[in-house]
């Protein structure tokens, strides 16, 4: 799970596997596989870094390569 912050300051833990698309308009908008959209404070680069770190942690346990 990765942590994202809504514009109102509320933090959420999100399964990165459900992110279908990211847009900057001008805030970062995540579109989930369900069609739901989340507007977050983090930049796309920060989110990508978090996803890479998350996937590396999974790989350490043999769950993902």
CB 19 within 8 A of CB 30: yes
Domain that includes residue 34, residue range: 30-65
15 lies in a domain?
no
Sheet containing 19-24: order of strands: 19-24, 28-32, 37-40
What average pLDDT score do residues 6-15 get? Answer: 97
Q: What is the pTM of this model?
A: 0.84
Model pLDDT, residue 59: 82
Beta strands in 1-65 (DSSP E): 2-5, 11-14, 19-24, 28-32, 37-40
24 lies in a domain?
no
12 lies in a domain?
no
13 lies in a domain?
no
pLDDT digits over 21-65, tens only?
Answer: 999 999 999 999 999 999 999 999 999 999 999 998 888 766 655
Count up the domains in the chain and report the number: 1
16 lies in a domain?
no
51 lies in a domain?
yes
Model pLDDT, residue 52: 94
28-38 burial, b at 16+ Cβ within 10 Å, e below that, comes to bebeeeeeeee
Model pLDDT, residue 19: 97
Tokens 């989930």 label which residue?
Answer: 32
């Amino acid at each position: 799970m990765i942590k994202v912050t809504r514009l109102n300051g509320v933090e959420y833990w999100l399964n990165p596997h459900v992110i279908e698309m990211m847009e900057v308009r001008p805030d970062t908008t995540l579109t989930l596989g369900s069609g739901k959209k989340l507007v977050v404070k983090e930049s796309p680069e920060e989110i990508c870094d978090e996803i890479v770190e998350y996937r590396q942690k999974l790989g350490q346990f043999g769950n993902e390569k």
